[in-house]
Amino acid sequence: MLEIKHTLCPSCSVGCGINVILNDGEIVGTFPYKRHPVNAGKNCLNGRTSIESYQNKFQTALVSNSETDTEKAIGDVLKELNSVDASDVTVICSGNNSVEECKAIKEFGESKNYNIAFYADNLKDFGEVASYDDIENAASVFVIGDLLYENPLIGRRIVHAKQNDAKIYALGKSDKSVTFNIADEVATGSVQEFLDSNSANIEESSVIVFNYVDGQEDLEKLENANCKVLPVFSKSNSKGAFSVVDAKSEEEMIELLDNTKVLLVFNDDVVNDIDYDFTKISKIISFAPCENDTTAISNIVIPIKTWLENDGSFVNAMGESQAFSAVVESDVLSEIEIIEKLNG
């Protein structure tokens, strides 16, 4: 029996809609969600392959790389947590978690006096930000990062701005940037240099869109810009997580990791995100739907529901909250159910 159901793309913070195709209850593909106001049925390759996290999901818990019953693995997690001081435990919350999960993780961490960390691409929350329509209607758009290639459904808005006669200024990490192909002026230097050299061109009617910065001083500069800005995060609910947990810079994360003996990672790939020697941490425990660099080095891995099996809400980069519902039933525990078990 063929069914097509709505959900959200989990691949980045743009908040695109996506339809999934189910055949006899199995997720077999994606289908354009043309009614969705953010992307009108357009999805990038990451979005269209996002269902692979469901198709490649963990089938069992892993303790020291051996398959184990989930209940037993949760018991092992409790033993590890009870063996150290609360101050030695760090809980990683992630933009991959829904708003509801972020709240549960925060509550859990605070109730146990654990350290709580959240990393969002070394970026910060800018509160009120530019909307996607603001980009299209801007007189000039300053683009930091290859948004056309890396966040194509924001890139599309930049293309529309160009078609509306906006001037496009693009900064890339190298000259191989697709965004450069539509830009009027291009640069490959630092973010500071880019902002400084364009300070006279940045006006109230401009929008600055970015998906990276070189350092925290860039964030201050962007915060003080005389126009709207839009940070675009690599994870679907980073903007929503900001409203629950304060984000840390890479430097602050490294400082915290240096003082961590047990690291609880909730649906994140911190090993991929932060350049750090994670072998210095005694125990890494991951709660993840499928394999990533962090689960690969984790002592214990507890499977969690993928977003396709879960209900919740994500807040997209421009601050709109969007709810999603499970498209398929699952016996796998959600993060909230696991936290309830950890709380006893």
Partner 1 sequence: MSYVLAKSQNDDILKAGECGGAVTSILKYLLDEGIVDGVLAISPCDDVYDGIPTFVTNSEDLINTAGSYHCAPTMIGGLVQKYFFDKKVAVTAKPCDMRAIEELIVRHKINKDNIYVIGLNCGGTVSPVSGRKMIDRFYEADPDDVVSEEIDKGKFIIELADGSEEAVKIHDLENEGYGRRTNCQRCDVKIPRKANIACGNWGAEDGWTFIEINDEKGQELIDGAKKAGILETKSPADAAVQGREKVEGIMINMAKKVQNAIYPTVSEMDEWSRCISCYACRDVCPICWCFENCELNKPYFKDVQNIPPSPIAFQGVRLSHMSFSCVDCGQCDDVCPMDIPVSLIFDKLQKKYFDRTGYVAGVSDDVKPPLYSPEKTEL
Which residues of this protein are in contact with partner 1, per CB under 8 A? 1-4, 6, 19, 21, 23, 28-29, 31-32, 34-37, 39-45, 48, 146, 148-149, 152-153, 155-156, 159-160, 176-178, 180-182
Q: Which is nearer to partner 1, 274 or 326 (CB)?
A: 326
Q: Which is nearer to partner 1, 44 or 213 (CB)?
A: 44
Q: CA end-to-end span of the chain, whole Å?
A: 41
* Minimum separation from the CB atom of position 28 to partner 1 (A): 8
| Vertex 60 angle, CA 59 and 65, to 5° | 120
* Residue 219 near residue 127 (C-beta atoms within 8 A): no
* Minimum separation from the CB atom of position 90 to partner 1 (A): 34
* Minimum separation from the CB atom of position 167 to partner 1 (A): 17
For 215, phi then psi, to 5°, come to -165, 175
* Minimum separation from the CB atom of position 147 to partner 1 (A): 11
Q: Which is nearer to partner 1, 56 or 87 (CB)?
A: 56
Q: Which is nearer to partner 1, 3 or 291 (CB)?
A: 3
* Minimum separation from the CB atom of position 223 to partner 1 (A): 29
* Minimum separation from the CB atom of position 269 to partner 1 (A): 20
Q: Which is nearer to partner 1, 44 or 130 (CB)?
A: 44
* Minimum separation from the CB atom of position 107 to partner 1 (A): 33
Q: Which is nearer to partner 1, 146 or 268 (CB)?
A: 146
Taking residue 258's Cβ as centre, other Cβ atoms within 10 Å add up to 11
Which two structure tokens, joined as six digits, stand for 177? 């940037």
Q: Which is nearer to partner 1, 41 or 215 (CB)?
A: 41
Which two structure tokens, joined as six digits, stand for 16? 């695109």
* Minimum separation from the CB atom of position 53 to partner 1 (A): 18
* Minimum separation from the CB atom of position 298 to partner 1 (A): 28
- Whole-number Å distance between alpha carbons of 103 and 99: 6
Q: Which is nearer to partner 1, 209 or 227 (CB)?
A: 209
DSSP H stretches of helix in the chain: 45-48, 52-55, 70-82, 99-111, 132-137, 147-150, 152-163, 191-197, 216-223, 238-242, 250-258, 270-273, 293-296, 335-342
Strand order in the sheet with 262-266: 66-68, 61-63, 300-303, 283-288, 262-266, 89-93, 115-118
Show Cβ contacts of residue 71 under 8 Å, excluding neighbours closer than 6 positions: none
Which is nearest to 143 in space by CA: 131, 129, 133, 157? 157
SS3 content of the chain, % helix, strand, coil (to 5): 35, 25, 40
Which is nearest to 307 in space by CA: 235, 234, 242? 235
Q: Which is nearer to partner 1, 58 or 180 (CB)?
A: 180
* Residue 202 near residue 208 (C-beta atoms within 8 A): yes
Pairing of strands 89-93, 167-171: unpaired
- Whole-number Å distance between alpha carbons of 14 and 202: 24
